[in-house]
C-alpha cells in the first residue's frame, strides 16, 4: 500500500441501523484497500432525492433490490482525494482528485469481461442498492458509501477531475451522467434537436446541461409550472424553448412540430420520475420525427400503451438507459475541464456529516432541479 501520510485508525461514517430510522454517526476503523483498490478521503457526497425512500421504504417496495446490510453505509455520488492505493495500483497515486462511479459489476460474467458492467445481472450501486446474486459480496467488499470520511473503491471506477471542477460539482455526476448516457444512446449529434420531458426536475435540468455541452442547437423542454420552465430556458434562451402543459392547449407534438419545420424532434428524453402518468410520456414520444429516438432514463413506471404499427410507420427507436460508464464520467470531467460543460448554474446546499439527516430531508423536498444537496464529510 502506498500513502502520502498515515491514515487515521478510525473515521466517522453515517449509518442506517434500522429501516425507517435516522442515520447515525458511528466511529469505525478506516478500511484497508485491496490490491487493486484505493482509499479516497471524501470531500463531497451528493444526496439524491430518492435516498429518503431508500432508507424508509425500499425493502418493502423492492425486496428484489437489496440494500447494504445493516448497519449500512449510504451515499451514491462522492468525490475526494486519493489517500492510499493498493499494491497493484499503478495508474493512480495519493493526492489525486477523483469522482467515484459507484456502479459495480460482478467482474466475472460474460458482460463484465467485455467491459459492459451496466449489463451485468448483479449490477450494484455501492452505497445504495443492488440487484443480483453477487450484490451481497460486492457490499461486503466495498462496505462504505460516500457519507463517510473515507471509502474503499476499485481503481476501475475512478474519474480524474480537472482543477477547475470542484468536488460539489463532481458530486452531481450521477444525474449528469445519466443524462449524458441517454443522449449518447440516442446518438445526439451537434445540430440535433432534443425534447426533454420533465425538464424542470433534477434529471431534466442535468440532461439539458449535457445536451448543450454536446452541441444540441434546439432543446424543447416540457413541464408543468411556468417558473421552473423559464428558469431552465434562461440557461440558453436562443436554444431552449419551453412548453407548459398546464398553460397550453396545444399538444406537445404540435408544439414541437411548429419549432422543427414540421418534422418533430430527433430525440425525446423522458426524464419523468416513477410516479408520473404514462400519458405524459406518450404525449412526448409523439413529438419524435420519423426515424427519431426516445430514451427512457427517468424511471416513469406506468405501462405505456404502445401501438406497434405506429412504431413501424415512424421507423422509431425506443431505448432504455440506466446510469453511465466510468468512461462517460471521464468524458464529462474532461468537458468541464475544457469549458464545454458549464456547471456554474448548480446551487449547492452544503451540510456537515453530523447534519446528514437534514440533508436527506432537504434533497427529498428541494423542488428545483438546480439544487445540489451535498454532504461534506471532511468539514467539521
Ligand atoms: Zn458481471
CA of 141 to the centre of ligand 1 (A): 15
Say how many Å lie between the CA of residue 111 and the centre of ligand 1.
Answer: 6
In the block, which residue shows the cell 421504504?
57
Provide the residue ranges of all domains of the chain, joining segments of one domain with +. Answer: 2-172+346-376, 179-320
2-172+346-376 folds as Quinone Oxidoreductase; Chain A, domain 1 (3.90.180)
Name the average pLDDT for the chain.
96
Q: How far is the CA of 104 from the centre of ligand 1 (A)?
A: 8
Per-residue model confidence (pLDDT) at position 69? 96
pLDDT at 315: 97
The pLDDT of 101-107, averaged and rounded, is: 96
* Residue 28 in grid coordinates: 469505525
**Residue 8, pLDDT above cutoff 80:** yes
Q: Is 380 a residue whose pLDDT tops 70?
A: no
**CB distance 14 to 346 below 8 Å:** no
Which pLDDT tens digit goes with each residue over 146-168? 999 999 999 999 999 999 999 99
274: confidence class by pLDDT, cuts 50, 70, 90: confident
How far does residue 205's CA lie from ligand 1's centre (Å)?
Answer: 31
Ligand 1 centroid to Cα of residue 325, in Å, is 14
Integer-rounded Cα Rg, in Å, for the chain is 21
Tens digit of each residue's pLDDT (9 = 90 or more) over 297-318? 998 889 999 889 999 999 999 9
Pick from 300, 242, 38, 270: which is nearest to 160 by CA? 38
Using the mean position of ligand 1's atoms as its centre, give its distance from the Cα of residue 272 in Å: 29
**What spacing in Å lies between the alpha carbon of 102 and ligand 1's midpoint?**
15
CA of 131 to the centre of ligand 1 (A): 11
The closest alpha carbon to 104, from 72, 143, 73, 71, belongs to 143
The C-alpha atoms of residue 312 and residue 307 are separated, in whole angstroms, by 9
Centre of ligand 1 from the C-alpha of residue 138, in Å: 11
Distance, CA 134 to ligand 1 centroid (Å)?
8
Note the pLDDT of residue 178.
Answer: 98
Question: What phi, psi does 272 have (nearest 5°)?
Answer: -70, 140
Q: What is the pTM of this model?
A: 0.96
Query: Tens digit of pLDDT for each residue in 234-247?
Result: 999 999 999 999 99
Is it true that 2-172+346-376 and 179-320 share their CATH fold? no
Is-contact 110 128, C-beta < 8 A?
no
Q: Which CATH architecture has domain 179-320?
A: 3-Layer(aba) Sandwich (3.40)
Determine the pLDDT at residue 196: 98
3-class secondary structure, 92: coil
State residue 83's pLDDT score: 97
Distance of CA 110 from the midpoint of ligand 1 (Å): 7
Distance (angstroms) between ligand 1 centre and the Cα of 133 equals 10
CA of 28 to the centre of ligand 1 (A): 30
Round to whole Å and give the CA distance between 287 and 185. 18
Q: Nine-digit cell at 284?
A: 412526448
How far does residue 119's CA lie from ligand 1's centre (Å)? 7
Neighbours of 141 (CB within 10 A): 15
CA of 177 to the centre of ligand 1 (A): 21
Please state whether beta strands 150-154 and 37-46 pair in parallel, antiparallel, or not at all (unpaired): antiparallel
Which residues does 303 contact at the CB level (< 8 Å), separation at least 6?
278
β-pairing, 193-197 with 158-160? unpaired
Amino acid at each position: 500500500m502506498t500513502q502520502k501520510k498515515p491514515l487515521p485508525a478510525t473515521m466517522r461514517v453515517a449509518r442506517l441501523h434500522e429501516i425507517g430510522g435516522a442515520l447515525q454517526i458511528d466511529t469505525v476503523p478506516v478500511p484497508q484497500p485491496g490490491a487493486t483498490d484505493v482509499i479516497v478521503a471524501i470531500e463531497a457526497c451528493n444526496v439524491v432525492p430518492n435516498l429518503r425512500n431508500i432508507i424508509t421504504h425500499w425493502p418493502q417496495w423492492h425486496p428484489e433490490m437489496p440494500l447494504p446490510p445493516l448497519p449500512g453505509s449510504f451515499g451514491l455520488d462522492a468525490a475526494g482525494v486519493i489517500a492510499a492505493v493498493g499494491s497493484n495500483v499503478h495508474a493512480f497515486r495519493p493526492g489525486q482528485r477523483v469522482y467515484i462511479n459507484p456502479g459495480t459489476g460482478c467482474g466475472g460474467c460474460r458482460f463484465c469481461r467485455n467491459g459492459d458492467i451496466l449489463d451485468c445481472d448483479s449490477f450494484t450501486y455501492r452505497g445504495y442498492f443492488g440487484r443480483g446474486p453477487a450484490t451481497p459480496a460486492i457490499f461486503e467488499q466495498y462496505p462504505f458509501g460516500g457519507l463517510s470520511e473515507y471509502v474503499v473503491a476499485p481503481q476501475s471506477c475512478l474519474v480524474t477531475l480537472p482543477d477547475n471542477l470542484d468536488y460539489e460539482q463532481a458530486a452531481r455526476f450521477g444525474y449528469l451522467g445519466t443524462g449524458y448516457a441517454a443522449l449518447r444512446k440516442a446518438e445526439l449529434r451537434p445540430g440535433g434537436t432534443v425534447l426533454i420531458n420533465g425538464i424542470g426536475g433534477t434529471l431534466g435540468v442535468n440532461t439539458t446541461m449535457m445536451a448543450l455541452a454536446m452541441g444540441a442547437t434546439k432543446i424543447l423542454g416540457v413541464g408543468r409550472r411556468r417558473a421552473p420552465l423559464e428558469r431552465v430556458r434562461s440557461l440558453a434562451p436562443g436554444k431552449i424553448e419551453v412548453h407548459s402543459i398546464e398553460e397550453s392547449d396545444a399538444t406537445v407534438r404540435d408544439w414541437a412540430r411548429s419549432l422543427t419545420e414540421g418534422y418533430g424532434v430527433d430525440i425525446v428524453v423522458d426524464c419523468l420520475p416513477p410516479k408520473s402518468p404514462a400519458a405524459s410520456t406518450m404525449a412526448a414520444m409523439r413529438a419524435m420525427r420519423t426515424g427519431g429516438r426516445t430514451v427512457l432514463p427517468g424511471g416513469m413506471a406506468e405501462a405505456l400503451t404502445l401501438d406497434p404499427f405506429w412504431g413501424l410507420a415512424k421507423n422509431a427507436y425506443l431505448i432504455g438507459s440506466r446510469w453511465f460508464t466510468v468512461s462517460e464520467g471521464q468524458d464529462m470531467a474532461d468537458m468541464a475541464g475544457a469549458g464545454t460543460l458549464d456547471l456554474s448554474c448548480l446551487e449547492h446546499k452544503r451540510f456537515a456529516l453530523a447534519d446528514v439527516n437534514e440533508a436527506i430531508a432537504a434533497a427529498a423536498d428541494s423542488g428545483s432541479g438546480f439544487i445540489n444537496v451535498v454532504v461534506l464529510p471532511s468539514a467539521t
